[in-house]
Amino acid sequence: MAQNKPAVVVTRRLPDVIETRMMELFDARLNLDDHAMSQSELIEAVKTAEVLVPTVTDRIDAGVLSQAGEKLRLIASFGTGVDHIDLKTARQRGITVTNTPGVLTEDTADMTMALILAVPRRLAEGERLIRSGDWTGWSPTSMLGHRIWGKRLGIVGMGRIGTAVARRARGFGLSIHYHNRRRVHAELEAELEATYWESLDQMLARMDIISVNCPHTPATYHLLSARRLKLLPPQAYIVNTSRGEVIDENALARMVEKGEIAGAGLDVFEHEPAVSPKLLQAENVVLLPHMGSATIEGRIAMGEKVIINIKTFVDGHTPPDRVVEAMF
């Protein structure tokens, strides 16, 4: 790879300060109108790029990577998840993949906690009532929701974000339970007063609120399947700020429609930007447009990580955020 101004193709608009720095350091080719690149455009990009900077909505699959030119040696993804990249094909072609872990933890945990509060307390319903002009004033039985203090929170995926959610939830009086591929350290369990469940099925059947915080991998696709969703008590709520593919969205929508679950707070969807019509019509579901990590500070921090990964790689060193294995 050329050590002087490597050709870097950026697939979407990034914060101005990040794009400016990229122009200074690299031969950066920016997406000025911020359109989502088609597969044919991505193929043209990988034919000429030495470094590709995609986002989580760009499908860098085998069909794209098979057309990559010999110069492409690094995919520096702008985002934490890497389920949009065919890691096996990239590895076979000698292409290093990096991501931007850690910098979105607090922002995503904040949004998760916001949904944990919003759904049981019917905040979105109340806001819609005010805007409708139909509110006639306070009454003792109007807009009754459920308190979360003293309830059990089951966290699916106790990584960085799951742990940050647990710390926030403890402050709201929630009892912390979790399922993870590996049990966390005893010190962390003690700090959070957390209960570990080796069996996801057993945990789901006993929780008041479920928070999905695991990445999307082949192992977690529809982890919350129709069968598992049926295990939830009818008074339970489910919150997802991870990836839509982790939940069988059609099954969840049917349960919401039939009143088999108390409600849901969803920031991600299985077929984004499409959302199940049943979820769109449900009053007891809070829907957000994949904005869990959408803070100015977070986006700039992501861009800085991308730049560091590229610069380190170009200088002949192993980038700090090289993707080795998807963790859950």
Q: Which residues are catalytic?
A: 243, 272, 290
Is 108:292 a contact under the CB 8 Å cutoff?
yes
Alpha-carbon span 62 to 65, nearest angstrom: 5
Residue type, 134: D
Query: What residues pair up with 287 in beta bridges, in sequence order?
Result: 266
Radius of gyration of the chain (CA): 21
Residue type, 117: L
Is 261:238 a contact under the CB 8 Å cutoff?
yes
SS3 of 174-224: CEEEEECCCCCCHHHHHHHCCEECCCHHHHHCCCCEEEECCCCCCCCCCCE
Alpha-carbon span 174 to 209, nearest angstrom: 9
